[in-house]
């Protein structure tokens, strides 16, 4: 059996997305190709899929004639050989390219004749009616050479040109997307293109800058404007995007969560950033004077006390991953919670304070310590 890491060969899964596979489908197919027939549990492990997504993903692959599922229990899933699975898809793509080349040649002749007859200069600024924005976005992305920056106020902004974004990533184009918080989550569609850099921010803006020059600004009615890249506008939008990118939260750790879970964690991170971390640091030397950050989160609409200990530690872990590259783990046998700071002790200390308030309300006494960049909380039942 050939053992290949799915994560180590991300370029192959991104390439599979160009054939119309979703991120999960590409991971699953690659895992089956590299591992051979596997059980559903093994597939979830090797492809890094949430267990709840394994069966729906397998069913989609079977419908696309890319995999087979045994009728026995436990089920065994097997990938169809690539040369057999993708032959019809490749031929379809070849036919499409040939048809497009023929169409473009015909349109070019019409365009050249029109310019000669009327002497009309090409317009550099034009308004797009609703319905024409997706095709314009796709064309701009297909023509990109270095970078595509997208400020996406909704999932539709990404999904309408996901295929072109995947292709751009495959060509080596740097694709950065600032998604709205409301559009992130596994239950809101697997629309994020593999290989793209994605961050999340509470915003409702919609614009795209291609290669630092081509600019498309979308309006709230579904239309948009393709505008000339004047010096002022170019610097204004690129500067704005750079600033928002710095404020935004990495979305990758939260993409497999539901939209509600991702939104809740985003809100908790922002609340602690603005109100909790400084207070947690000041009180770290005096646990008795620590602020009640659990009450702070509850007061601003983030559920804390209704969660189980494991659920709250899991929430802290996701928040630490997104905000500083850290993590959170609960050792139930040893009665210890470990919070990895990711180089930002204030973030881990803030979550330690949340957990401390939560645990004390449940009759635990806690002892905290920090070692090797981790905050350790030992639980003792009073």
Task: Report the sign of the C-alpha dihedral through residues 355, 361, 362, 367, in that order.
Answer: positive
| pLDDT reported for residue 213 | 81
Phi, psi of 208 (to 5 degrees): -140, 135
How many residues are given for the chain? 382
| pLDDT reported for residue 232 | 62
Give the three-state DSSP class for 261: helix
| pLDDT reported for residue 193 | 77
**H-assigned helices in 253-362:** 259-271, 277-283, 293-299, 309-324, 345-361
| pLDDT reported for residue 307 | 93
| pLDDT reported for residue 134 | 85
Phi, psi of 155 (to 5 degrees): -60, -30
Query: Domains of the chain, with CATH numbers?
Result: 7-85 (1.10.10.10), 126-254 (3.30.870.10), 259-381 (3.30.1380)
Give the pLDDT of the chain (382 residues) as one tens digit per residue: 344 443 445 666 777 776 778 888 888 998 898 888 999 889 988 888 888 888 889 988 988 888 999 878 888 999 988 878 777 777 777 777 777 777 777 777 766 666 555 444 444 556 777 778 888 899 999 999 999 999 988 777 888 888 899 999 999 999 999 988 888 876 666 667 778 899 999 888 888 899 888 888 887 667 777 776 665 666 777 888 888 999 899 988 888 888 899 999 999 999 888 765 555 544 444 455 556 888 889 988 999 999 999 999 999 999 999 999 999 999 988 889 999 988 888 888 889 889 988 998 888 888 888 888 889 999 887 6
Give the three-state DSSP class for 234: helix
- Please tell me whether the peptide bond between 74 and the residue prior to it is cis, using omega within 30 degrees of 0: yes
Instruction: Give the pTM.
Output: 0.67
| pLDDT reported for residue 306 | 93
What secondary structure does DSSP assign to 198-217, as a single string? EEEES----EEEETTTEEEE
Distance CA 319, CA 354 (A): 12
CA angle, residues 302, 304, 306, in degrees to nearest 5:
115
| pLDDT reported for residue 312 | 94
């Amino acid at each position: 059996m050939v053992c290949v890491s799915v994560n180590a060969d991300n370029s192959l899964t991104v390439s599979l997305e160009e054939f119309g596979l979703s991120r999960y489908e590409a991971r699953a197919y690659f895992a089956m190709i590299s591992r051979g027939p596997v059980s559903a549990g093994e597939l979830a492990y090797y492809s890094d899929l949430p267990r709840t997504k394994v069966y729906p993903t397998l069913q989609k692959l079977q419908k696309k004639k890319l995999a087979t599922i045994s009728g026995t229990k436990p089920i065994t899933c097997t990938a169809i050989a690539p040369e057999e699975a993708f032959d019809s898809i490749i031929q379809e793509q070849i036919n499409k390219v040939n048809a497009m080349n023929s169409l473009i040649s015909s349109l070019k002749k019409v365009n050249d004749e029109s310019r000669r007859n009327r002497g009309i200069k090409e317009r550099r600024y034009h308004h797009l009616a609703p319905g024409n924005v997706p095709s314009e976005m796709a064309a701009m992305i297909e023509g990109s050479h270095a970078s595509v920056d997208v400020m996406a106020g909704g999932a539709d902004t990404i999904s309408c040109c996901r295929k072109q974004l995947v292709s751009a990533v495959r060509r080596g184009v740097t694709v950065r997307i600032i998604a709205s918080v409301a559009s992130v989550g596994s239950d809101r569609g697997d629309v994020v293109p593999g290989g793209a850099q994605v961050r999340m921010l509470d915003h409702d803006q919609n614009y795209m800058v291609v290669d630092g020059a081509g600019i498309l600004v979308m309006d709230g009615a579904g239309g948009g404007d393709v505008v000339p890249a004047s010096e002022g506008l170019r610097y204004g939008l690129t500067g704005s995007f750079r600033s928002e990118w710095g404020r935004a939260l990495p979305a990758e750790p939260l993409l497999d969560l539901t939209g509600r879970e991702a939104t809740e964690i985003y809100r908790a991170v922002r609340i602690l950033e603005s109100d909790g971390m400084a207070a947690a640091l000041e009180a770290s030397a005096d646990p008795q004077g620590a602020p009640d950050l659990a009450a702070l989160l509850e007061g601003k609409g983030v559920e804390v006390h209704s969660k189980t200990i494991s659920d709250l530690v899991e929430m802290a872990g996701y928040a630490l991953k997104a905000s500083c590259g850290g993590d959170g783990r609960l050792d139930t046998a040893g009665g210890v919670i470990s919070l990895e700071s990711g180089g930002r002790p204030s973030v881990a200390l803030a979550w330690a304070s949340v957990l401390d308030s939560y645990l004390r309300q449940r009759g635990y006494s806690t002892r905290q310590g920090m070692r090797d960049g981790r905050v350790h909380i030992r639980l003792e039942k009073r």
